[in-house]
A and B are shown apart, each in its own frame.
Chain A
């Protein structure tokens, strides 16, 4: 298995909703990442997990809450989002932090209404 799988592919949520994005890989990668991409902008790093521990939080608002329950799974819990949080959320993994190229999922297109 050489893929990163993200679910759901599309999500529409209200500002009072709670939802979660899921990311899974079975390549034995020990670093996992969440990126956010707005239209016509480059992907921006949100969080980095290394060996299931949060290594980097790029000053992301607390309405985004990451979780890494095991080495294959990365979640992003969403609560009380704003319309400006609408974006493509990309998950990626790599063998280790700084190790080789990243393998990306195809993303979750999130719309906050």
Chain B
């Protein structure tokens, strides 16, 4: 059973704060690491797909880094806005590229 862990479980920040979350995954048999944003009553939305050790990806105020050797990825949000409130899920794809296993998610709430 693959263990994909995320921390913290939940986070409550003020508008304008910057924040980051962690995703830990097995360092062996790595194919890719996905990040998704899931707003309540909507579909999970793909943010990043990361495949190379040392990868850094950016989309607006959100960025992510990847360390496949030690098995972790960070997601950063700069200047949080209320519309960033969502659950952020990471997911690990094994070397066979067939099975995407999700972490437990970090629930972010941004208040004014």
The interface residues of chain B, by DSSP majority, are classed as strand
How many residues of chain A get a CB closer than 8 Å to chain B's CBs? 24
| Complex-state Cα separation, A56 to B34, whole angstroms | 20
| Complex-state Cα separation, A44 to B44, whole angstroms | 14
| A64 in contact (CB, < 8 A) | no
Question: Which of A4, A56, A90 is close to B99, meaning CB atoms less than 8 Å apart?
Answer: A56
| A111 in contact (CB, < 8 A) | no
Interchain CB contact under 8 A, B49 and A101: yes
How many residues of chain B get a CB closer than 8 Å to chain A's CBs? 25
Interchain CB contact under 8 A, A97 and B98: yes
Interchain CB contact under 8 A, B98 and A55: yes
Interchain CB contact under 8 A, B105 and A42: yes
List residues of A whose CB falls within 8 A of some B CB.
4, 33, 41-45, 48, 55-56, 58, 90, 92, 97-107
A102 and B97 in contact, given A42-B102, A43-B102 (Cβ under 8 angstroms): no
List residues of B whose CB falls within 8 A of some A CB.
4, 31-32, 34, 36, 41-49, 89, 93, 97-105
| Complex-state Cα separation, A103 to B43, whole angstroms | 8
Interchain CB contact under 8 A, B44 and A104: yes
Question: Which of B34, B41, B101, B104 is close to A102, meaning CB atoms less than 8 Å apart?
Answer: B34
A98 and B98 in contact, given A42-B89, A42-B105, A103-B46 (Cβ under 8 angstroms): yes
Question: Which of A44, A98, A104 is close to B43, meaning CB atoms less than 8 Å apart?
Answer: A104
Question: Which of A42, A55, A101, A105 is close to B46, meaning CB atoms less than 8 Å apart?
Answer: A101
| Complex-state Cα separation, A48 to B100, whole angstroms | 10
Interchain CB contact under 8 A, B46 and A98: no
Instruction: Give chain A residues whose Cβ lies under 8 Å from the Cβ of B93.
Output: 98
